[in-house]
């Protein structure tokens, strides 16, 4: 999980690790014995073992057969993803031998997750069923209910771990398209392995569907189309389409080309969404607000997004936020659009 700072070593596994991962390794003492590179006393045989092994060699052993869809976390990812990756590799040895049957690929996954109520914010136990042959994720309000409360097409799902926002270390945000708008669903499971298994099972079904939809595509082309982390989230103020209304504080989520804004970070539905196309199709972003804008908000660092239809005006509290949002907007607008993104753009234009 390279953070560029391996200040620690596992003298039983022969790998160098960063501070964040050293804590996880310490939790599995049967497998990993952790020492500081600078503060611990190293025996000669331990130093010899590290020299004979090391990260590259151990990677070829413990990551010999990682499935294409399996999400490999980096040092930026949350604790539950990093811990389960480390346990899967070294404790369960899931990826050491090719040809193993993975729990993520069983075709059906059926179990209980705690789900946040759309209106009251309470977490209640709900049954979820993932079906590869249908390409759907369903959930039921009662375990033995005949009809699901929702049937979600897996190809419209994004899933991303959001422990701080959800207030649970295993909190997962699932977003999907429902009637042309994005629905947010917040779930968790007390068991870290269980929630990470759900996450990778969703990715496995997504990859299965993408291979059918894009028969000529390589794995490297398809993996970026699986679940993805949000590019940026945070508060900005925005004004309405006439730009005479007051600036109101909203929570913004940038999910690739979709910029969603919500009253509260845990709202089930966005109040609105902006599609960000490419620059050569009339999309642009600039620092500041148009001359003459009446800015009644407390925040002064303006951003103007231009779409073929209208301008969107935002303000940020800090200049650093403004610079970061604009950097992400520019990156998205500089990238060429895929055929699927043209379809999404058309859908946004014709939304009710």
Q: Are 8 and 35 contacting, i.e. CB atoms less than 8 angstroms apart?
A: yes
Domains belonging to the chain, first-starting first, are 8-91 (1.10.220.150), 108-225 (2.30.29.30), 232-350 (2.30.29.30)
244: pLDDT strictly greater than 70: no
Give me the residue label for tokens 């997962």: 172
User: Mean pLDDT score of the chain, rounded to an integer?
Assistant: 92
344: pLDDT strictly greater than 70: yes
pLDDT band at residue 94 under the 50/70/90 scheme: very high
**Most confidently predicted of 142-146, 234-238, 348-352:** 234-238
pLDDT tens for 275-325 read: 999 999 999 999 999 888 877 777 999 999 999 999 999 999 999 999 999
Lowest mean pLDDT among 3-7, 263-267, 325-329: 3-7
3: pLDDT strictly greater than 60: no
Q: Are 270 and 250 contacting, i.e. CB atoms less than 8 angstroms apart?
A: no
Contacts from 232-235 at CB under 8 Å and sequence distance 24+?
232/324, 232/325, 232/328, 233/165, 233/265, 234/321, 234/325, 235/317
């Amino acid at each position: 999980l390279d953070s560029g700072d391996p200040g620690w070593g596992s003298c039983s596994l022969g790998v160098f690790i960063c501070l964040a991962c050293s804590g996880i390794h310490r939790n599995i003492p049967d497998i990993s014995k952790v020492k500081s590179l600078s503060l611990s006393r190293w025996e000669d045989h331990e130093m010899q073992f590290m020299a004979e092994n090391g990260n590259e060699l151990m990677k070829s052993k413990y990551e010999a057969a990682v499935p294409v869809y399996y999400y490999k976390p980096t040092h930026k990812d949350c604790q539950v993803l990093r811990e389960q990756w480390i346990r899967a590799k070294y404790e369960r040895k899931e990826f050491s031998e090719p040809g193993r049957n993975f729990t993520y690929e069983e075709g059906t996954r059926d179990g209980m997750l705690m789900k946040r109520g759309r209106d009251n914010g309470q977490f209640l136990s709900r049954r979820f069923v993932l079906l590869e042959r249908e390409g759907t994720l369903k959930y039921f309000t009662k375990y033995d209910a005949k009809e699901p409360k929702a049937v979600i097409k897996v190809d419209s799902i994004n899933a991303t771990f959001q422990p701080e926002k959800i207030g649970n270390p295993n909190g997962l945000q699932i977003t999907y398209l429902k009637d042309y708008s994005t629905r947010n669903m917040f779930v968790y499971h007390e068991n870290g392995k269980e929630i990470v298994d759900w996450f990778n099972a969703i990715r496995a079904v997504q990859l299965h569907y993408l291979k059918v939809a894009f028969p000529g595509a390589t794995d490297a082309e398809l993996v970026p189309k699986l679940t993805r982390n949000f590019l940026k989230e945070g508060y900005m103020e925005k004004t309405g389409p006439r730009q005479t209304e007051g600036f109101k504080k909203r929570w913004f989520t940038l999910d690739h080309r979709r910029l969603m804004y919500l009253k509260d970070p845990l709202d089930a539905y966005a109040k609105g969404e902006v599609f960000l196309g490419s620059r050569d199709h009339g999309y642009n972003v600039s620092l500041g607000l148009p001359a003459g804008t009446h800015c009644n908000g407390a925040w002064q660092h303006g951003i103007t997004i231009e779409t073929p239809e209208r301008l969107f005006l935002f303000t940020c509290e800090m200049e650093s936020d403004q610079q970061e949002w604009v950097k992400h907007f520019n990156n998205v607008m500089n990238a060429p659009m895929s055929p699927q993104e043209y379809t999404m753009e058309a859908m946004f234009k014709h939304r009710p």
